[in-house]
Structure 1
């Protein structure tokens, strides 16, 4: 029997919201060691010295090519492709007919060879791109693709290793590693390098608001390259970052890793019949509505407006042009009140019904974490990724809130579900609480907001 598709699952349950609130899909599992030392010091390393993150296993990869590929992508994306060429990467996004976000991923343009482009990210956007490319291929277009699931879902080794090196002394490590100063590479540009005699490509970017490179190359060289990086970084107190610490890195870089996808309207009806229901993810959090549209984001809500360019026609352009004139929400960091966080932890060891369990360093327990943000009793936004940052000794979350709420305002994050969903990741018995939080910029650190994109 074929697996149930998303359209069938919604029809069976009667509601997209109820389906995803109860669906057994955890937030995400990183298939690397949870800790190499301890997650607190591993977190601190990318802010104080240098850290090595292994990104080889947890992301889905879609290898792409063909003469008609770029026009096919242009038709579903507000990104500009005017200057897209080998040696450049971009944060690819896509929207529905009403301008709401489907997802995002990093599109690497490595070469003009058969699989010279690769889209990396969670499967949300990749599934939509794969569906679009398959339709184009069936229509006779010169496009082709190869899906490589992450290491939780794939047998065998990945095509590439991917190592992220970052921190205040990352450049010193690279100077030793490369035998000279690291190349001057613009943000999101790709350099050809040699590490331990092996060919490696390096993307200039950082995942936690610090300078760094993402190195990638043939999997067969992964141990040689990794060991060379660790040897070069030893005198600089390099630390390998495990799954626990790595999962919290978006909190500092200001990237919302799994935005809720706007795929539940008429323009995505055929796609829902193609998409297996098991790949649709799950909703966790206090936000509750019978209207699935209340879970949608625009690109501007999540700080992705810089990826929007109206230099070509694409699905959803007319609606997105109207949204761009006056975005209603913006991306922020919410700094959670220490006493309120402590009360949640304390409730776990007191008599009575405890608050919803709050995990460290990451609190996300649904694939899409969606917690209501209120001010003066009214909803003003949605809190998404949440967790603890050891360097700052702060619990925080990334959120999208009304533009009328300024930095420095105190809002409340509603933590815990009512009604409580039936997915196994949620505590069957808990009570909702409110957490005071101060609105701050995203990314939070001055470095991430200014120097980080200086060469953009």
Structure 2
């Protein structure tokens, strides 16, 4: 008799081993539903440092709308953030954890009107909130789910971003005058020609600029106005190959495993999640897999630089665990600069006979949805590294990582283990390879402001 697989829990039960299910997952890499390149990814990277870029974020993120008198209470009960004074025309980076203090998901909250919030980003946080709104005593309605789609006709809103040294001058021209004063991570309004847009001052890699949005039925007209006016400001559209690079150089770690795959207390949630949904399509990879423990891929808010957001002025899921977390367990997010000679060795191994190292694809070396490699000091594990990217501006391979605070020192020398053990997993994205010790240098400031 065939047992149907309808939920994430069904999928885990059928696999019999959650670690093997994720480590050998047959999912391919996520492909952004946008054109991969408009010119070439090298010039597209340079543009946000030297001129300005146009990024179309209308297609790849989930936008879920929550409305009702208990919206803020719902958000507060399941988020580490404080909501004191939160209201209309405010935005917030939101982090939701499980009871053990590990991150289920993060997203950006946009409150355009009182008691009406959209949750934008990867679906993990929004899914958790939808579930809690359904089973809990909350006067909240999910009014719209705007899923990722290559077709704007499937979406309620467009969402664009213009960033770089020339961004303000371009947007002022389109606005017909000076832009309003919108502090960092605050919301405001301005015009793109005849169209009013809502905007967030959300800097990418420290460069000036804004993320802004409006109704999808005017998306093409707004885009064309920007591209035409942008010619004199050297505006460069960027494609999907560059999107993950912008995240990494902005200090955002987007590739972690949602902390939902283990624990009896999360079983009901896994039974609610679909077998083909966001969580179920995850894969894990990298040298952390040597432990064969899924929970080694879970991360706390401190690991990702969100520790300062944890406010213990309210009760929330995960509060007790985070309050008890020992100081030495509160890792610090850093940038790791890979040794160029070791990176060259990785590429050179493909051109020689004998063992080959795991290839680093350009410009993003991710081969799992949740990649994680062991970071060591003198052969002892001290932290983790996430997917490497090549930064043309830095002429280096870099990755974000989480290490003890006492090691987060400019120039601290560490190493990481690149690649998977025993020749690699069965993931279709993994070729046969041997592991490589890569020397790395610590930059304690993961977000560059120069």
Common fold: TM-score over 0.5: yes
Instruction: State the TM bucket, normalised to the shorter chain.
Output: over 0.9
- Aligned counterpart, 1:244: 241
Q: Does 1:417 align with 2:426?
A: no
Q: Which residue of 2 aligns with 1:451?
A: none
Stretch moving more, 1-10 or 250-259: 1-10
**How big is the shift at 1:231?**
2.1
Does the Cα contact within 8 Å between 2:64 and 2:142 map onto a contact in 1?
A: no
SS of match in other structure, 2:114: coil
The superposition leaves residues 217-275 of structure 1 with CA deviations (integer Å, 9 ceiling, x where unpaired) of 00011111111112222111110011111221112110001222222223211111111
Which of residues 337, 354, 375 is equivalent to 2:339?
337
CA–CA separation in structure 2 for the residues paired with 1:229 and 1:388:
28
Q: SS of the counterpart of 1:287?
A: helix
Deviation at 1:277, TM superposition (A): 3.6
- Alignment match, 1:426: 430
1:352 corresponding residue in structure 2? 354
- Say which of 10, 13, 16 aligns to 2:12: 10
* Structure 2 length-normalised TM: 0.93
Q: Which residue of 2 aligns with 1:147?
A: 145
Q: How far 1:409 moved relative to its partner?
A: 1.4
Give 1:269's match in structure 2, choosing from 267, 270, 273.
267
String of CA shifts for 1:68-107, please: whole Å, max 9, x gaps: 1211121111111111111111011111112121120001
Q: Relative to structure 2, which stretch is displaced further, 338-347 or 260-269?
A: 260-269
- Per the TM alignment, residue 2 of structure 1 is displaced from its structure 2 partner at its CA by 5.4
DSSP 3-state at the match of 2:190: strand
Which deviates more from structure 2 when the two are superposed, residues 348-357 or residues 43-52? Answer: 348-357
Larger deviation, residues 406-415 vs 356-365: 406-415
Count residues in correspondence.
441
Deviations 1:134-184 (A, max 9, x none): 223xx57343343222116x8942111111100012111112111212111
Paired residues of 1:177 and 1:229 also in contact (CA < 8 A): yes
Separation in 1 of the partners of 2:52 and 2:324? 43
Checking the alignment, whether the CA contact within 8 Å between 1:103 and 1:258 is kept in structure 2 is no
List structure 1 segments (4+ residues) > 6 angstroms apart after TM superposition: none
Structure 2 equivalent of residue 299 of structure 1: 301
CA contact (8 A) 1:416 1:432 kept: yes
Aligned partner of residue 130 in structure 1, secondary structure: helix
Deviation at 1:362, TM superposition (A): 0.4
Contact 1:78 1:94 in 2 (8 A): yes
Task: Please list every run of 5 or more consecutive structure 2 residues that lacks an aligned counterpart in the other structure.
Answer: none
Question: What is the CA distance between 1:208 and its match in structure 2?
Answer: 2.7
Further displaced range: 337-346 or 173-182: 173-182
What residue number does 2:363 align with? 361
CA separation in 2, counterparts of 1:397 and 1:108? 29
Q: Is the 8 Å Cα contact of residues 253 and 442 (structure 1) preserved in structure 2?
A: no
Q: How big is the shift at 1:50?
A: 0.6
CA distance change for structure 1 residues 349 and 82 in 2, over 3 Å: closer, same or farther? same
Provide the secondary structure at the position in 2 that maps to 1:256.
coil
Q: 1:329-388 deviations in whole A, cap 9, x for unaligned?
A: 110100001111111111112112311111010011111111111111111111113110
Corresponding residue for residue 454 of structure 1 = none
The secondary structure found in structure 1 opposite 2:221 is: helix
Q: Distance in 2 between matches of 1:250 and 1:218?
A: 25
Q: Show structure 1 runs of 5+ residues with no match.
A: 448-456
Separation of aligned partners in 1, 2:328 and 2:186:
31
> Which residue of 166, 190, 199 corresponds with 1:202?
199
Distance 2:25 2:394 in 1: 34
- Corresponding residue number in structure 2 for 1:381: 383
Partner SS for 1:20: helix
> What is the match of residue 120 of structure 1?
120
| Cα distance in 1, alignment partners of residues 138 and 174 from structure 2 | 47
Q: Output the CA distance in 2 between the equivalents of 1:327 and 1:284.
A: 22
CA-to-partner distance for each residue in 1:297-342, whole Å, 9 max, x for gaps? 1101110112211111111111111227665311010000111111
Note the 1:143-222 alignment, pairs <5 A.
143-151=141-149, 156-222=153-219
Cα root mean square deviation, aligned: 1.9
2:318 — aligned with what?
316
Which residue number in structure 2 is paired with residue 438 of structure 1? 441
| 8 A contact 1:162–1:216 mirrored in 2 | yes
